[in-house]
Structure 1
């Protein structure tokens, strides 16, 4: 019997490893909301265990972050990561002047919250970025995904919320949120064999926490004005983070701006952050579910638009880098998103 190409089909969808299980979980929540209570046991655990699954994933992501990289790759990746985070911080700082923690409650922007904004803005889809750079960039630009792992999980979102004054986290709460990542990071850099053991878990856990996360999302929300609002938020992500990323890539990274535009997406894993942050900051709980829906829409829209815009930008401004890309050698392996 011929084997089914399920994994290949999922890989053809930008962020598919996150989005497909999330959609399956959302279908369960929408059409069979009583399933966890009905099945109980391990099935209930995997449908409702977002936080413990995320904790293991966060640990594995920490273990995968290595301090060893060439200076060029570090300069490229460091420029993009720092710019993305600073841009997100500035956006949250301004938005915090007008939007309460529970979010806007009426009008077209009803449902928009600081939580949704920071989670949509501060994480780049590393797999999408690396894929685009293998086509439109140099080997070093493709390798700039190395530091994007630092953005993964709620750590940077919490830092931005705290630094902007939009939230206050007690020291023990903040430590509890970042400790799995830090322990994984320490062990992975102290012993390469431990990194080799734990790092694959960063990809392995994605479908599981995505499915559990999907079980918190009611798809009926997409029939509300949230769909239009999510598209507006996605466009804001591309414009408000893309412009600083393009400028930074040209001025600091030594690129053509193509890499900056390619990094202006929302990571698939960002959909998990609203619930994770609300778990340690209860005042965000009322906005968590709506924020998850908005961030999910951002993931889908930016995954479609960013490749198109990057290709157009490259044809206009970056085609002259093709020769340099050829001389730089074969591209690096593309990470799974």
Structure 2
């Protein structure tokens, strides 16, 4: 049975198939793998540890001479994601009806969902379609975890005053450190770099499965059509913006589109904002379920969208990621 070959024929298959399988298990048989010990630690709770190990392996492939490229890509993705999500949110505030909603969507949910991104999903996608500088860009993307950038957008829009204490530098360092450790090991020893390189691809289906165990298809039903629309906006608007900006920069455009998702931690953002300002308290419940629905929708749809973009580029004679690698990178992966 050729499982690996079958998965590779599906766009993003190494990530999306385990993720969907786990989401189905979590939705219909949520306790099946929650039996404790090694099984639960690996298949349910292992996403963060596996992603951290993936980032360490990726960091080992980065030469200190090209670290600036990774930071540039990360900063570009971060700014594009925030600018597009914030702009759509601002329009929603301006066009909201008497109930404070825009086409049934809570504006605060739009900003929370569209300025945040699923780091695990990004890492999985660029692990298949990107290079080492794209994967290392994730260290800077940690800035859009949680309510921090949503608060910044709301502050700029004059909806509320800036609130201190919502972003911890320690959290950022905690994401960056595994990459730094990998970089140090890889730059000190070429053999260690080669050894860790073999771990990157192997880890993708395992942390994708663990990510799927945090997805409940019921969230789409609860969030209703509004949550699905929010997910569609996140994938196609923020993803397309990243795609065209990266294309203009002569970087791999598929990587730019890989930020078109909503992270699970964004579900808590409306409540955090309401705690800081009671003006948002009336929309906490609807915003929460809409962000939750967007999380599930983007987790399922973004890999399909990325697969479509890859095939579209390949029809034009562009091979992903080979055509966006340096000569050194191509020789190293050959």
TM, length-normalised to structure 2: 0.66
Aligned-residue offset at 1:93 = 4.7
- 2:133 aligns with 147
Mean alpha-carbon deviation: is it higher for 160-169 or for 300-309? 160-169
Aligned-residue offset at 1:95 = 5.4
Aligned-residue offset at 1:97 = 5.2
- Structure 1's 238 and 158: CA in aligned 2 closer, same or farther, altered over 3 A? closer
- Structure 1's 283 and 213: CA in aligned 2 closer, same or farther, altered over 3 A? farther
3-state SS of 2:63 partner: coil
Write the deviation string for residues 197-216 of structure 1: whole angstroms up to 9, x where unpaired: 22322222222211111111
Mean alpha-carbon deviation: is it higher for 82-91 or for 172-181? 82-91
Q: Give yes or no for contact 2:112–2:266 (8 Å, CA) kept in 1.
A: no
- Structure 1's 234 and 301: CA in aligned 2 closer, same or farther, altered over 3 A? farther
- 1:43 aligns with 39
Measure the CA separation in 1 of the matches of 2:295 and 2:88.
18
Aligned-residue offset at 1:25 = 0.9
- 1:220 aligns with 218
- Structure 1's 107 and 94: CA in aligned 2 closer, same or farther, altered over 3 A? closer
Q: Give yes or no for contact 1:158–1:277 (8 Å, CA) kept in 2.
A: no
Query: How many residue pairs were aligned?
Result: 286
Q: Which runs of 5+ in 1 are unaligned?
A: 131-144, 250-258, 319-324
3-state SS of 1:218 partner: coil
- 1:29 aligns with 26
- Structure 1's 290 and 191: CA in aligned 2 closer, same or farther, altered over 3 A? farther
Q: Give yes or no for contact 1:261–1:310 (8 Å, CA) kept in 2.
A: no
Q: Give yes or no for contact 2:55–2:136 (8 Å, CA) kept in 1.
A: no
Measure the CA separation in 1 of the matches of 2:230 and 2:255.
22
- Structure 1's 236 and 96: CA in aligned 2 closer, same or farther, altered over 3 A? closer
Aligned-residue offset at 1:26 = 0.6
- 2:238 aligns with 237
- 1:205 aligns with 203
- 1:135 aligns with none
Q: Give yes or no for contact 2:60–2:184 (8 Å, CA) kept in 1.
A: yes
Measure the CA separation in 2 of the matches of 1:127 and 1:168.
30
Measure the CA separation in 2 of the matches of 1:95 and 1:18.
29
Aligned-residue offset at 1:289 = 4.7
Q: Give yes or no for contact 2:22–2:210 (8 Å, CA) kept in 1.
A: yes
Matches within 5 A, 1:35-74: 35-37=32-34, 39-49=35-45, 50-67=47-64
Measure the CA separation in 1 of the matches of 2:166 and 2:92.
16
Determine which structure has greater relative contact order: mean sequence separation of CA pairs < 8 Å that are 6+ residues apart, divided by chain length.
Answer: 1
Write the deviation string for residues 13-39 of structure 1: whole angstroms up to 9, x where unpaired: 2221111111111111011012244x3
Q: Give yes or no for contact 2:254–2:310 (8 Å, CA) kept in 1.
A: yes
- 2:6 aligns with 9
- Structure 1's 295 and 61: CA in aligned 2 closer, same or farther, altered over 3 A? farther
- 1:332 aligns with 330
Measure the CA separation in 1 of the matches of 2:248 and 2:202.
35
Q: Which runs of 5+ in 2 are unaligned?
A: 94-99, 154-164, 274-287
- Structure 1's 59 and 247: CA in aligned 2 closer, same or farther, altered over 3 A? closer
Measure the CA separation in 2 of the matches of 1:334 and 1:117.
35
Measure the CA separation in 2 of the matches of 1:120 and 1:172.
19
3-state SS of 2:117 partner: helix
3-state SS of 2:258 partner: coil
RMSD: 4.4
Confirm whether residue 156 of structure 1 aligns to residue 156 of structure 2: no
Measure the CA separation in 2 of the matches of 1:334 and 1:83.
26
Write the deviation string for residues 150-178 of structure 1: whole angstroms up to 9, x where unpaired: 2236x414168757736832222322232
- 1:141 aligns with none
- 2:191 aligns with 193
Measure the CA separation in 1 of the matches of 2:89 and 2:192.
41
Measure the CA separation in 1 of the matches of 2:144 and 2:331.
30
- 1:84 aligns with 77
